[in-house]
Amino acid sequence: MPRKKSNPPAGRRTRRQLIGNVLIVGCLGIALIAGYLLYLDHLITSTFDGRRWSVPARVYAQPLELYPGLVVEANEIEVELKRLGYRRGPLNLNAPGNYTHTGNEVRATLRAFTFSDGPRAPIDVRARVADHAIDTLYENGEPASLVRLEPPLIGSFFASHGEDRLIITPEETPTLLSEGLKAVEDRNFDTHAGFDLKGIARAAIADLRSGDLSQGGSTLTQQLVKSYFLDNRRTVWRKLKEIAMAVILDARYQKADLLNAYINEIYLGQDGERAVHGFGLGSQFYFNKPLSELDPAEIALLIAVIRGPSYYNPFAHPERARSRRDLVLGQMSEFGLITAEQHAKAIRQPLALTRSARQGGGYYPAFLDLVRDQLGTNYDATELASRGYRVFTTLEPRVQDAAEQAVATTLDRIEIDRKLPRGDLEAAVLVANNQTGEISAVVGGRKAGFQGFNRALNARRPVGSLLKPVVYLTALESGDYNLASIVEDAPLLQTDVRGKAPPWEPHNFDNEFHGPVPLVRGLGDSLNLATVRLGEAVGVEKVAARVATFAGIEQPPAYPSLLLGAIDLTPLEMTRLYGVIASGGFATPVKTVLAVEDAAGATLNRYPLEMQQVAQPEAVTQLTYGLTMVMQHGTARASRFAMHGVAGKTGTSDDFRDSWFAGFDATHLAVVWVGYDDNRDTKLTGSAGGLQVWDALMASLHPAPITLTTPTGFDLQTIDYATGGLTRADCGEPVTVPIPYNARLPAVPGCGTGFMERFRQWFSD
Amino acid sequence: MVQRLNHTFDRALAHVGLVVVLAGCVSEQQTPYPRTPAPIPPTSQTRPPSQYPVPTQPSPQPIPQAPAPVQPQQPKPQSTVTLALQDEAQRAATAGDLPKAIQILERAIRIQPDSAQLWIELARCHLKEGNAAQAEQFARKALLFTGNRYDLEQQAWVVIADARAEKH
C-alpha cells in the first residue's frame, strides 16, 4: 500500500481540487471579463470615432454678391448680414462677425469661408449705397469690384427622426461653456478616471437635502456613453456597463477630445422631426446665432437644458427653464467663471429666445424637397445623413423670404377683404432665374416653415388661361400670324361627330362676343372664343406638343378644351413652361443644386447649366410683347407693376377653383397658385388672387423692365389694341408691338399715320 | 485634341469666311476680345444699319402710355464686375481647369445674365470640354443678347459651326 500512502488525504485532495477549480473558473472569469472589456473597448472606441464625424449634409443657399451697381438698400444688406448671424458691434478682423450701419454705409468684418471655388480669409468690407444701388465698394480698404457674403446655411439632411448637429471645434468652444459644463455637471472632470465616486456622493447628499433627484452624479463621460447608446433603463448591469465604458473612454482619449465630443453630442431639444444635438446647433436653434457669439445668460440656458430638454424646454416651460438657468448662473459665479456684475446682469435678462418660424428641421422644407429630388439620383439617404457633405444650392434667401411673406400677408388680406373663412386659403409660389432657369425660391403652402403638403411640386390643378400663351406662341411660330392678326371672337359650338361626348360650347369670361380682335387683345383680355379659334386654326395637336415640350410632361390628348387650359399641372410644371418664355425660348431642367462637396472640401459633383432651345426666339419676343400688354391693357392691368415693362398672364379655372398668375421682370420669373385644398370655389380670378401675391413678391424684389430687342425683320408699330389697325400714339387704345416689316395693316379710320402725321411728329419730338 | 480643334476651327473659319478675334476657352488664341465700348474690329463685317437688308426699327420711341420693355440698340456694356470674373475664368481655362472656368462663368452669368460675351465664353469652354451639344445651345443663347454687335454675333456663329463640326 505504499502507493496508497503516497496519496494525500481525501480532505487535502478536495481542497486542492477546489483551489484548482477556483483557479480555473477564476482564470476563465478573468478571461471572460477581459474579453468582455475588450468587446466594450472595441464598441465604445468605434462608436466614439464613428460618431464624432457622423454629420448630416449641410445645405447652403446662394451667397449675396455685392458689386457697384447692385440694386439694393443699405438695410437689405443689413438683413442679409443678420441672416448670417452678424451682429452690430465694433469691427475687428481678428474677431469677424460684426457690422456697422451708419446712414447709407454698411461695413462688416466677414468671416472666413471656403467656397466651392476656393477659400477666403476674413475681410473687411464697406459698401456705400446711393440712389437705391451700391455706389462704392471697398475690400480691406481697397476699391473692389465684387465681394460675396458667405452662403447662408438653409438646412441639413439628417436621417428621418434623426439627429442633426453643427460640429464645433475645441477652438470654437467658448471657455465659459466648457468651464460652465464642468462646474454644473462634473466638477472633477479634469481629474477623475471617467467615473466619480465623490461626485455621486455629493449628488446623493444634495438629493437627500432637496428631496428630489435633480442631481445626477454622472460624469460628462458617462453622459456621453449614455447618449451614444440611447438607453435610459436604470438597471445595475447597465450602470456598470456604462461605467466600464466611461473608464475605457477616459483611458483611451484626451480629456479635451472627450469634452469636445460631449459638446457636439449631447441632446438639447426637439425641433419637429429633428433632434437637436450639440451646442453648435443648440445655439442656432434657441438663439439663431453662432455659439461663439452667445452671452453668459444664453450659455447658461443651454447648460440648464441638458438635464431635461423637454422638462426644461424654454419654449414650453419658460419659468422652469429660467429658474434652472439662474441656478447655473449662480454656479458659474460661485466658481468665478463670471463676475458678480455679469451675474447680476445675466439673471435680470429675459430668456431672449428666437422663436424661429421655421420648425420641423428644414428651414425651407419646400425647397429642400426639390434639392432631395435632384440629389436622389446620385446619393442615398444614409450618405447624406452621415458624411458631412456640403451641398451648394440655387436658393436666394432674400427672394424666398419675400415669397413667403407675400403669401402670408396677401392671403390674410384677401380673406379679410372678401370675408372668406380665415386661414383656409392656400397658395404655392415658385421663383426662377429667367436666363439660367435655376430655382430661386419655393413656397409649398401658407405655413412655409413647416414640412407639409408641398403644393408647389405636388398640387395638380387645372391651369385655365395660364396655358393660353402656348396657343399664341404656336400661332406666332407658324409665321402665319403676328400680334395684329385678326381672329374672330364669336360663338362656338362643337359636337363630337361620333356623338360620344356632349357638345362643347365655350364662353368668354364676360359671356360676351367681341367680334374680330387682334391676337394681342385675344391674349391680353384672355378671350376664350378667340383663343379656341386660333388654336384650332394652328392645330390642337401642335399646341399639345408644345405644352409637353415646354412643361416637361407627356403629351396631353389634343382635345380643344386643352386650348383653354383644361389640363391639371403642378406649379413646378407651369414654372418650366413659363421658363421657356422668360428665357427667350430655352427649356431647362429643374435645377436647385450647383455642387456637392465631401467633408474635406473635394468636389463630388458639379451640376453645370443645361438648356435646349425649343422655341423660335422671334416668336417668343412677340409673345413677350403680348404678355407686357396683358399687364398694361389686359386682365392683369390691376397690377401695381402694370406699367413697369414686366410681362405676365392670369389664369382662372372653372368656377374660380384656382387662381393663377405667372409673370416675370428682367431677372425673375414667378408662378403663383392660390386655391383651396378641397377644390372649392375661391371666388377669386387670377387677377384677384395669384396676381396679388405676385405683386407683393415683386414689390420686395425691385422689379426691372424686361429687355426686348426687336427681332430682325420686324418693325415696332403702334396699333390699336381693340381693332389691330395702325394708329397714332394719341388715337384709340395704342399699343406698340413688333410687326413683320412686310405686313400690311389697315389704319384705324381717323387715326392715320400719313405724311402729315409724321411731319407733325418730327416737330413734336 | 488640340490638333482636332485646330482643324475643325480652320474649317469653321473657312466656312464662315471671316476672321474673328477669339479668346478664352479656345486657349490657343490668347488675344482678349474687344470689350465694350471698344471699337468693333475692322475685319468684322459690320454694316451700318441702313445697309442691312431688313429695315431696322425707327429711332427708339417711347411706347405710348407706358414705359415699354427696354429697347437696346447697343447691348449693355459688360460690367467691370463680370469682366474680372471672365479674366479669372480665362486663367482657369488656360491652366486646364475647365470645370472651374465654367463655374466662374456661371457665377458671372448670374450677375449679368444678358451678356453675350459671357455666354459665348461659356459655350467655348463647353466646346473645349467636349460638350458640343451644350456649347451650341449656349452660343444660341448668346445670340439673344448680341444686339447690333455683329462681331459678337459672328463669334457666336463660329462656336455654333465648330460645335456642329464636332458633333459630326
Q: How far is CA A474 from CA A479, A480, A513, A713, B78, in A?
A: 9, 10, 23, 19, 34
Bond preceding residue B37 cis, omega within 30 of 0: yes
> Which amino acid would we find at residue A125?
V
B160 part of a folded domain: yes
Neighbours of A334 (CB within 10 A): 11
B74 part of a folded domain: no
- CATH number of the domain encompassing residue B120: 1.25.40.10
Specify whether the CB–CB gap between B89 and B101 falls below 8 A.
yes
DSSP string covering B54-79: SPPP-S--PPTTSPPSB--SSPPPPP
B155 part of a folded domain: yes
Q: What is the mean pLDDT of residues B154-158?
A: 97
Q: What pLDDT score was predicted for residue B8?
A: 43
**Residues of A with catalytic function:** 185, 465
B27 part of a folded domain: no
Of B65, B69, B109, the CB nearest to A707: B69
Cell of A68: 457697384
Q: What phi and psi, each to the nearest 5 degrees, are found at residue A441?
A: -160, 145
Cell of A489: 371672337
B79 contacts A67? CB cut-off 8 A: yes
A contact residues 710-729, partner B, Cβ 8 Å cutoff: 710, 712-716, 718, 729
- Residue carrying the nine cell digits 476680345: B33
Whether residue A272 lies within 8 A of chain B, CB to CB, comes out as no
B71 contacts A595? CB cut-off 8 A: no
B70 part of a folded domain: no
B85 part of a folded domain: yes
Q: What pLDDT score was predicted for residue A361?
A: 41
B contact residues 76-95, partner A, Cβ 8 Å cutoff: 76, 79-81, 84-85
Interatomic CA distance for residues B37 and A442, integer angstroms: 39
Q: Where are the beta strands (DSSP E) in A121-231?
A: 123-130, 133-139, 142-143, 147-148, 153-157, 163-165
Q: What is the mean pLDDT of residues B55-73?
A: 42
Q: Where are the beta strands (DSSP E) in A632-685?
A: 647-652, 658-664, 668-675
Interface contacts (A, B; CB < 8 Å): 130
A715 contacts B58? CB cut-off 8 A: yes
B22 pLDDT band, cuts 50/70/90, is very low
Of B69, B84, B107, the CB nearest to A708: B69
Q: What pLDDT score was predicted for residue A109?
A: 95
Interatomic CA distance for residues B117 and B157, integer angstroms: 13
Whether residue B147 lies within 8 A of chain A, CB to CB, comes out as yes
Whether residue B57 lies within 8 A of chain A, CB to CB, comes out as yes
Whether residue B42 lies within 8 A of chain A, CB to CB, comes out as no
CA atoms within 13 A on the CB side of A628: 29
Residue B151 domain boundaries = 80-167
B126 contact residues in A (CB cutoff 8 A):
608
Of B76, B81, B109, the CB nearest to A146: B81
A contact residues 644-703, partner B, Cβ 8 Å cutoff: 644-645, 647, 666-667
B109 contacts A434? CB cut-off 8 A: no
Strand, helix or coil at A658? strand
| pLDDT exceeds 50 at position B61 | no
B69 contacts A625? CB cut-off 8 A: yes
B110 part of a folded domain: yes
Tens digit of each residue's pLDDT (9 = 90 or more) over A356-412: 544 444 578 899 999 999 998 889 888 888 888 999 999 999 999 999 999 999 999
Whether residue B74 lies within 8 A of chain A, CB to CB, comes out as no
If one counts the domains in chain B, the total is: 1
Smallest Cα–Cα separation from A624: which of A609, A642, A646, A605?
A646
User: In the 8-state DSSP scheme, what is residue A63?
Assistant: P
Interatomic CA distance for residues A704 and A698, integer angstroms: 10
A145 contacts B80? CB cut-off 8 A: yes
- Write out residues in chain A with pLDDT < 50, as ranges: 1-2, 4-5, 213, 357-361, 765
Helix ranges (DSSP H) in chain B: 2-16, 80-94, 98-111, 116-128, 132-143, 150-167
* Element housing A174 (H / E): none
Q: What pLDDT score was predicted for residue A352?
A: 76
Smallest Cα–Cα separation from A674: which of A453, A425, A454?
A425
B15 part of a folded domain: no
Measured over the CA atoms of residue B29, residue B32, residue B37 and residue B42, the dihedral's sign is negative
